[in-house]
Amino acid sequence: MTITAIMRTMIRGVELGHGTAALILVVLMAITLVGCGGRRAGSGPIDALRTALPETVAGWTKDGPAELYDQDSIYSYIDGHAEVYLAYGMRRCLAQRYAGTAEGPGIVVDIFELATPADAYGVFTHDQEGEPVAVGNDALLRHGWLSLWKGPYFVSVYAEGEADGVRAAVLELAKAVAAAIPEAGERPGLVTELPSNGLEPRSVRYLHDQQTLNTVLFLSEDNVLLLSSDTAAVVARYHRESGSGYLLLVEYPDPGRRERAEGEFVGQMLGGRSDAPVDLDQNGWCAVAGGGRRLTVVLDADNAQAAASLLEEASTGGSDEGT
């Protein structure tokens, strides 16, 4: 992907009203498409997908051999932003470029093998703009870029420009990759526990670390929730008659870790108050509750009622009833 194409992506984001944090994520995901070279990594499950990629598709032909990157060599491919994928346990990345006619743009297929299907879903949730298409899981197509997840893989198919037949070629390539992945995969359990009332589905983000959470809703430079690779978290935005806000669910490996995280968060963010929603001024109303390995947090709510009702609903397992 060229710098010009990246700028076009950012401009489109501004036109659609995205915030700065969302634009940064779009750019980071787009930069994965830069370059075609790189040193080969060792073979593994993802290597079997190499042979599943068609030699030609709708007038586009493989432009040289596919490149396979590991956790070290991936830095040479995505220009220093490997952390976006490494945060989800990236193991391998298979990259294949297709060349069109002399006037036609190239198409790049990137297949990332993540630690688990949940992590593949997590990478996918970074950018959920676009038109749903029936390929793999939750596939979205926008401006010549199709993304999907299936099993432990996140798949990106990107056209480097516009031309007749590009859309059909992108779709056909995505279908070939999806068909070659035998495991369907399931969404993380935390995602299914989000209350449905007022949920904005495309706001859902699955993550493990504070840095990623901050791109959705900035909390602190410090890791106030003690998030790491062994924690699972989901954050989503809600819009209800009582007011809007964000709901964050975090699953820790043990109750002790959750207790420490709750104490850290309450002490640093809420001034030691946790028995009722707290007004954080420009950061909205916040409420928190913990039990077992689960920490439930409402962030940036419009008012105390919205914070309290969403916290109660999430803490008791969710409900479809309105507020």
Q: Please, where in the chain does CATH 3.40.1000.20 lie?
A: 3-180
Phi and psi torsions of 10, nearest 5°: -65, -40
What is the three-class DSSP state of 15? Answer: helix
Q: Name the residue with tokens 């056209």.
A: 159
* The predicted structure's pLDDT at residue 25: 42
Looking at residues 250-259, what average pLDDT do you find?
97
Rounded mean pLDDT of 275-291?
93
The residue ranking higher by pLDDT, 18 or 258, is: 258
Q: What is the 3-state secondary structure (H, E, C) of 76-93?
A: HHCCCCCHHHHCCCCCEE
Give the model's confidence band at 48: pLDDT under 50 very low, under 70 low, under 90 confident, else very high.
confident
DSSP H helical ranges for 51-141: 74-77, 83-86, 117-124
Q: What are phi and psi of 307, to 5 degrees?
A: -65, -45
Tokens of 246: 């964000």
For the residues 179-198, what does the mean pLDDT come to? 95
pLDDT at residue 256, as a whole number: 97
Q: Who's near 305: CB < 8 A, 6+ residues apart? A: 242, 243
* 20-31 vs 3-16: helix crossing angle, rounded to 10: 150
Residues 6 or more apart whose Cβ sits within 8 Å of residue 38: 67, 69, 73, 76, 77, 95
Region 216-228: mean pLDDT is 93
Non-local CB neighbours of 243 within 8 Å, separated by 6+ positions: 301, 302, 303, 305, 306
pLDDT at 145 over 80: yes
Average pLDDT on 250-267 reads 97
Strand 60-62 vs strand 243-251: parallel, antiparallel, or unpaired?
unpaired
Residue 60, pLDDT above cutoff 90: yes
Q: Where are the beta strands (DSSP E) in the chain?
A: 56-57, 60-62, 67-69, 92-99, 107-113, 131-132, 137-142, 145-150, 153-159, 205-207, 232-240, 243-251, 278-279, 285-291, 294-301
CB 142 within 8 A of CB 154: no
Calculate the average pLDDT of the chain. Answer: 85
CA 31, CA 78: separation in Å to the nearest integer? 6
CATH ID of 3-180, from 3.40.1000.20, 3.60.130.10, 2.40.160.40, 3.30.830.10: 3.40.1000.20
